[in-house]
Structure 1
Amino acid sequence: MKCGAQLSLYVMADDFVRVILSSLDAIEPLREYLRIETDDISTLIVGPSDMIFPVMRELFVAAASSGHHVAMHATISRGCPGEPDLVTCEPVKATVFDVDLEGRKALAAKAVEMAARSGRRVAVQFSLYPLGPADYMDEIYGCIDFLKASPVFDRAKNYCTRLVGDAGPVFEALSQAWLSFGDPNAHVAIDLTASANSPSKDAAA
């Protein structure tokens, strides 16, 4: 199954080029496990499903560590029928899709609880799109239940959910939303915007 993310990083600073390039350097050691391609618009990351969000976390935390206000927009996809399967996209470990919805919610919550902290506070808003099966709303509602019980849940917004907290648990919650909800044989996508070091009033919420 092909898994990947197309992301763009934005740095509100004069030295944005240095920050972006140093952030890409932070994920350089992972290139042997991933396909990483950068152009003038975005960076593509393709690889094992359980590595996508950890790699995004490392890149974003590296950028946020600059102290500048940084934002990232990403589209994350697994099982896209329009893309060929790649060996590099096979999961490193078994997925949890053979567990019922309540079991998946419990396992996802445990993973967030155990996530290592990065020391970097972030805010994220995202939407989950499990495509295909007619019962997709059950999966979305299950994901929302999991998120509302999570320590990184901030609030529901129109068409998306906002998470706030340390980047470790926040990106783990995103990873679990993507890996633990939605038919494992169907196309599942996430649209995501992340922010750190924002001067706005919500940044301290």
Structure 2
Amino acid sequence: MKCGAQLSLYVMADDFVRVILSSLDAIAPYRDHLRIETDDISTLVVGPPELIFPTMRELFVAAARSGHHVAMHATISRGCPGEPDMDICEPEQPSAFDEDLEKRKRRAARAVTDAPSTGQRVAVQFSLYPLGPADYMDEIYGCIDFLKASPVFDRAKNYCTRLAGDAGPVFEALSQAWLSFGDPNAHVAIDLTASANSPSPDAAA
């Protein structure tokens, strides 16, 4: 199985180059466990599924701490049938998918509650796509139930869910949505946009 993300970071400031490059330094501790490739459009992060969202969190929080309005768009995927299996993507922990949906919802909720704070507020909207199985909507509804009960749920939007709060529990909620819902042997994807320090009035919501 291949697990990874293509992400693009946008900094609304004259010194965006400095902010982006210094933010990439924040993910240095993960580089021994991941394949990370950056070009002029995006950064590819490939590796164990448990490390994908922590890596994204560190990158985004480092950029947000510049004080500038920053945004990130990412496409996250695991189990794509069109991608080769990679040993680097072996999970560090066993899948929780053998548990029934209610147990997975409670397990995911505990992980969000236990997530450490970063001191950086973020807002994220995302959509979960568990591809393949006929009962995929059961997984989506289960994920929505989990999110609505979490402290970072903001509101439902057309085609997506908005989360807001400290980046620690927000990115943990995203990670749990990806790891705990959707057959681990099937293709599961997430499309997300994150924002911090926005001048929009909604940024304080």
Query: What is the TM-score with the length of structure 2 in the denominator?
Result: 0.99
Give the drift of 1:30: 1.5
1:70 maps to 2:70? yes
SS at match of 1:5: strand
Question: What are the equivalent positions in structure 2 for 1:105-184 lying under 5 Å apart?
Answer: 105-184=105-184
**Structure 1: tracts of 5 or more residues without a match:** none
SS at match of 2:183: coil
> Which residue type is aligned with residue 105 of structure 1?
K
Percent of pairs with identical residues: 85
Whole-angstrom CA distance in 1 between matches of 2:155 and 2:61: 22
Query: What is the aligned partner in structure 2 of residue 6 from structure 1?
Result: 6
Counting matched residue pairs gives: 205
> Which residue type is aligned with residue 10 of structure 1?
Y
Whole-angstrom CA distance in 2 between matches of 1:90 and 1:106: 24
Whole-angstrom CA distance in 2 between matches of 1:127 and 1:31: 27
Give the drift of 1:29: 2.5
Q: Tell me how large the CA RMSD over aligned residues is.
A: 0.4
**Structure 2: tracts of 5 or more residues without a match:** none
SS at match of 2:172: helix
Deviations 1:168-188 (A, max 9, x none): 000000000000000111000
> Which residue type is aligned with residue 166 of structure 2?
D
Q: Detail structure 1 runs of 4+ shifted over 3 Å in the superposition.
A: none
SS at match of 1:93: coil
Whole-angstrom CA distance in 2 between matches of 1:89 and 1:58: 19
> Which residue type is aligned with residue 120 of structure 1?
Q
Whole-angstrom CA distance in 1 between matches of 2:60 and 2:120: 10
Query: What is the TM-score with the length of structure 1 in the denominator?
Result: 0.99
